[in-house]
Amino acid sequence: MDYIKTLFNRNFLEYASYVIRDRAIPDLEDGLKPVQRRILHCLFEMDDGKFHKVANVVGSCMKYHPHGDASIGSALVVMANKSLFIDKQGNFGNILTGDGPSAARYIECRITSLAKDLMYNPAITPMVPSYDGRNQEPVAFRAKLPLVLLTGAEGIAVGMSTYILPHNIAEVIEAEKQCLSGKSFKLYPDFLCGGLVDVSQYADGQGKVLARARLDTSDDKRIVIRELPFGSTTESMIASIENAAKSGKIKISEINDFTTDKVEIEIKLQRGVYSPDILDALYAFTECEKAVSCNLLVIKDNNPVQMRVTEVIQDHAKRLVKILKDELELEKANLTDRLHMRTLERIFIEQRIYKKIETMKTADGVIKAVLKGFEPFASELIREVTEDDVEHLLRIPIRRISLYDINKNREEVHAIGLRIKEINKLLKNLTAYAISVLDGILAKLPPEEKKRKTELARFTKVDVKEAVTRDTPLRYDDSTGYLGTAVSAGNEILRVTPYDRVLVMRKTGMYAVMDVPERIFVDKGMLYCGFSDKEALAKILFTLIYRDPKTGYPYIKRCRIGGCILNRDYFLVPAGAEVLYAGTKEKASVTVYYEPKARLKTKEQTFKIHDYPEKGLKAQGVRLAPRAAASAREEESVAGGLMKKAQERKVTDKKAPAKKTPAVKTPAKKTKKK
């Protein structure tokens, strides 16, 4: 059992590591996932300036990618649609409408000059064997820009995920220049689809942004969507608008899609509805506004690391200096070799050292004769002469010796010397050289690539509760005891929205907070129904007069209702007590009628409720009188804010007075008889 557990843990760890490093999370050095890197590597190998069938590129890439062709083709299309590293020809789909591309055999692509400038340098790129050992593929390209910020990335691995937003290439270059100069900088996302974005909560790549569509509201009777928010297409946008219209959240009469290479979605409004009236509803209930969360997770030094945009720029600035240093040192070494060979060729031909090999009969004798011939000129040589150098000299054809141009050789040697001096100067000031390289990349970019596509703006996320209109009637049918928006009979209590919550108090003194119901039984004789937000409830002072279940004595309780747990029942009066009166007025007079008994002279008594103090929810009521109460009602008006008029309760005794209060007021009748 322990062996199986150990085997499972080891295999799962290896699988998780593979998914994280080799599939889902991009590498910080070149900002690419393995499949993307292999596609670009194939395009570099196939590059001849002409377009290649995407099907051929996919087939070639399968030499390096151990998975199916579908993942290669879809990744290539996504990269091509970002228009940075791959030129495309044919139908690659439409990122605005969400339409898919044509089959791989019908579309063509090639590598861009920008990709070659930024990434292609095989001499300093570390290589490893491919999965089958037949070919070599790059570990990571030595990119001169932080590509992970240019293209963005998203991926889900085992136990982690990444979501990196794309940025404008010109702004990234400027930010890296500022970093190299030791100055502060800010960098914000930029989307191909345009629109507007609020970056107040971007948190340097670890927060979120609020993206909005660009709306044309110049006509009061229609709204035209000109640009989409990040992550939306015209198809998903129209579907969200139609769903909102069907559910009654926005009032439109027609929607038309005129999108071509630019977005144009026309929304016509109903009669009596104008553009300003539904803007908030569009942002709240459709894809016209989207919140996009970010998580900048990358592979750094073979480990997944969460970083910020500023840290990525700072890290790449150091990498850029190292890349340029390696390139300069490589160029210097190649120039030094060229200078050495040109010097050897000049001496070999001018001093006729080749004449000394005429009498030699063995290969070793030839090599020794040439090496000995260079001994008098050792001071002119850059380094010692090797056997490989001799082999190169011996391969010089006779025609070249006879037509040798000493002046041309001297000009070439002079140019090589100047370049080596220039490289030495650049190596002493790599930071300034790095800035000049970035300026050169920026100068090569076309104007449309430099321009920011998404406008930075500040706006507040629209709350759906605020955007929706309270126009749904909430009804209560006293004859059946049902409450809800689907109740057709009864009285209209409130105008509500689907996002409201209401507090309902039953005749037993039990209350609960619930979502607006479609149809629910709450009891006949409901005492109260109103909105349950804390601010509204804090202003309401509830007054209840109830009959004690044991003694029948009347008690009064005055309190306010605070926070409640949703769909949980609470009691304002003791269990079994009968509520005789409930109201929300702060000042009122309530008459309590007592049960008739022999020799009982006082059969009713009026109390001013504002004479009694306000108490907590769990406190007991204050006893009004040591007599059994039969009913109670408010004088001269109905209970303020209640759904029912003042309740008159019957007692079980048959001798108790009826609900009609005139039958209880016996003193008035005696006066007439006198």
Residue 352 CA: distances (Å) to CA of 349, 357, 396, 409, 466: 5, 10, 13, 16, 96
Write 76-81 long-range contacts (CB < 8 A, 24+): 76/39, 76/109, 77/101, 79/36, 79/39, 79/40, 79/151, 80/109
pLDDT at 410: 85
pLDDT tens digits along 149-188: 999 999 888 888 899 999 999 999 999 999 999 999 999 9
Name the maximum alpha-carbon separation found in the chain.
Answer: 167
CB atoms within 10 A of CB 559: 17
- E strands within 28-79? 52-53
Chain CA centroid to CA 557, Å: 52
Greater confidence, 106 or 499?
A: 106
pLDDT at 620: 85
pLDDT at 196: 94
- Single out the catalytic residue among 106, 120, 274, 433: 106
Residue 568 CA: distances (Å) to CA of 476, 515, 522, 536, 565: 21, 12, 14, 19, 6
Q: Above pLDDT 90, what percent of the chain?
A: 48
Task: Give the pLDDT band of residue 642 (cuts 50, 70, 90).
Answer: very low
Separation of alpha carbons 152 and 193, rounded Å: 14
Residue type, 626: P
pLDDT at 639: 41
CB atoms within 10 A of CB 224: 18
Q: Above pLDDT 70, what percent of the chain?
A: 93
Stated pTM of the model = 0.74
* Max mean pLDDT range (99-108, 355-364, 492-501, 652-661): 99-108
pLDDT tens digits along 393-446: 888 887 777 777 788 888 888 999 999 999 999 999 999 999 999 999 999 998
Contact predicate 86/115, CB 8 Å = yes
**Facing residues of 547 across strands?**
554, 578
Mean pLDDT of 76-100: 93
Contact predicate 580/543, CB 8 Å = no
pLDDT at 290: 93
pLDDT tens digits along 230-247: 999 999 999 999 999 988
Task: Give the pLDDT band of residue 64 (cuts 50, 70, 90).
Answer: very high
pLDDT at 183: 92
pLDDT at 325: 95
pLDDT at 38: 94
pLDDT at 640: 40
pLDDT at 490: 84
- Report whether pLDDT(207) > 90: yes
Contact predicate 484/446, CB 8 Å = no
> CATH 1.10.268 spans which residues of the chain?
313-450
Contact predicate 177/440, CB 8 Å = no
Greater confidence, 398 or 589?
A: 589
**Facing residues of 257 across strands?**
265
> CATH 3.30.1360.40 spans which residues of the chain?
214-287
Q: What are phi and psi of 482, to 5 degrees?
A: -95, 145
pLDDT at 463: 66
Three-class DSSP category at 505:
strand
pLDDT tens digits along 540-554: 889 999 999 889 999
**Facing residues of 503 across strands?**
513, 530
Pairing mode, if any, of strands 520-521 and 482-484? antiparallel
Chain CA centroid to CA 217, Å: 27
pLDDT at 133: 92
Separation of alpha carbons 441 and 180, rounded Å: 16
Angle at 595 between CA 593 and CA 600, to 5 degrees: 95
Angle at 198 between CA 196 and CA 200, to 5 degrees: 165
Angle, helices 309-350 vs 406-428, to 10°: value is 150
Task: Give the pLDDT band of residue 467 (cuts 50, 70, 90).
Answer: low
Residue with tokens 């202003």: 539
- Total residues found in the chain within this entry: 674
Q: What is the CATH number of domain 214-287?
A: 3.30.1360.40
- Averaged pLDDT of the chain: 86
The span from the first CA to the last CA of the chain, in angstroms, equals 104
Separation of alpha carbons 194 and 262, rounded Å: 10
- E strands within 108-207? 108-111, 127-129, 136-138, 153-156, 161-164, 196-198
> CATH 3.90.199.10 spans which residues of the chain?
32-142
| 91 CB-side CA count, 13 A | 9
CA nearest neighbour of 234 among 213, 208, 210 = 213
Question: In this structure, which CATH number among 1.10.3470, 1.10.150, 1.10.268, 1.10.357 belongs to the domain 313-450?
Answer: 1.10.268
pLDDT tens digits along 594-618: 988 877 778 888 999 989 988 888 8
433 assigned to active site: no
pLDDT at 126: 93
pLDDT tens digits along 9-37: 777 777 777 677 778 889 999 999 999 99
pLDDT at 665: 37
So what CATH class is 32-142?
A: alpha beta
Mean pLDDT of 663-668: 37
